[in-house]
């Protein structure tokens, strides 16, 4: 079966029979999850397994779990990440690069535990003078 170059999402906490049939026919490259798809670890682990089962292969599963403002998986089930990245950079947090590496290692461990492969975090983006304010607090620094 040929996979399409698409990433699809589902409507809720579990797949509907119609979604399952559609995903089998569409054979997407992977899936992306949003807050509407997340309740707790048991539910999320079941959903990621069900998505893969629906297409018959180990499809990549993506989510935006940046920490700070953008977190699809929230407390009290998962860690709440504060402060936003730009505040850490401005405050000159001691060991900032190490703190960021640890933050993302811990996030990666949480994602992996529930079957998620890819974090769509803008960790390599750099804030510039013309960076839109909505994105600025999702970026750690100004120096590439």
Residue 143 has a pLDDT of 66
**Region 91-111 average pLDDT:** 78
Quote the pTM value.
0.82
Q: How does strand 118-119 pair with strand 61-63? A: parallel
Res 75 pLDDT > 90: no
**Region 100-108 average pLDDT:** 85
* pLDDT confidence band for 136 (50 / 70 / 90): low
* pLDDT confidence band for 79 (50 / 70 / 90): confident
pLDDT tens by residue, 22-50: 999 999 999 999 999 999 999 999 999 99
DSSP string for 72-126: SS-TTTSPPP-S-HHHHHHHT-TTHHHHHHHHHHHHHHHHHHTT--EE---TT--
Domains present along the chain, CATH in parentheses: 4-136 (3.20.20.300)
């Amino acid at each position: 079966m040929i996979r399409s170059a698409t990433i699809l999402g589902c409507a809720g906490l579990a797949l509907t029979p119609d979604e399952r049939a559609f995903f089998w026919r569409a054979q997407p490259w992977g899936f992306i999850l949003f807050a509407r798809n997340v309740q707790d670890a048991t539910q999320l682990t079941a959903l990621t397994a069900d998505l893969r089962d629906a297409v018959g292969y180990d499809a990549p599963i993506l989510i935006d779990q940046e920490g700070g403002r953008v977190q699809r998986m929230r407390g009290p089930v998962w860690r709440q990440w504060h402060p936003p990245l730009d505040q850490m950079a401005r405050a000159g947090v001691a060991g900032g690069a190490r703190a960021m590496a640890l933050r993302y290692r811990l996030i990666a461990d949480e994602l992996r535990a529930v079957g998620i492969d890819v974090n769509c975090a803008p960790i390599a983006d750099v804030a510039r003078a013309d960076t839109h304010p909505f994105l600025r607090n999702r970026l750690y620094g100004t120096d590439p």
